[in-house]
Amino acid sequence: MMKKLLDRLGFTNCLAVAIVLLIAGGLLGGFVLAVLSIATRYTGALACWTAAFGPIGTAASVVLAFVVNKSKAENTACGIGIKYAAAETNHFTASPEI
């Protein structure tokens, strides 16, 4: 199952999905800690959570930006879009509607 997903999406896109899931898990964990803090009347800071997920979120945003730029670069041919290049190859004839 995982091998099929990796083959279909590619390594970079699987890495992006894993990073987004990590950030989502961290956000969910933060909400759980907030609810538990309210339930137990804890009034201190949750600095350990902030210190752990602050840098992870920053790194994730940088990595995801590079993933998007890589995808843009892969989906162009000679500076033109892949769809335009495919249409040019077919001499701009309309394809049948699906």
CA 16 to chain centre: 4
pTM of the model: 0.64
CA distance 15 to 66: 11
pLDDT in the model for residue 34: 86
47 or 16, which is more confident: 16
Q: What's the CA dihedral at 37, 41, 45, 47 to 10 degrees? A: -30
Whether the per-residue pLDDT at 98 is higher than 60: the answer is no
The pLDDT assigned to 77 comes to 64
Each residue's pLDDT tens digit, 63-86: 888 888 877 776 666 666 666 677
Residue with tokens 């609810």: 35
